[in-house]
Amino acid sequence: MREYELLYMIQPDLEEEKATQLQERVAEIITQQGGQIQEVKEWGKRRLAYEIDDHREAFYIEVHFQGTPEVVEELERVIKITSGYMRSIVTRIED
> 13-22 pLDDT, tens per residue?
999 999 999 9
- pLDDT tier at 95 (50, 70, 90 boundaries)? confident
pTM of the entire predicted model? 0.91
Looking at the domain that runs over 2-93, which CATH code has it been given? Answer: 3.30.70.60
What distance separates the 2 farthest-apart alpha carbons in the chain?
A: 39
Please report which confidence band the pLDDT of residue 39 belongs to, taking 50, 70 and 90 as the band edges. very high
Domain boundaries, the chain: 2-93
pLDDT at 84: 94
Q: Contacts for 46-53 with beta carbons within 8 Å, 24 or more apart?
A: 52/86, 52/87, 53/11, 53/86
For residue 23, give the nearest of 69, 68, 85 by alpha carbon: 85
How would you classify the pairing of strands 36-52 and 55-67? Answer: antiparallel
2-10 and 36-52 strand pairing: unpaired
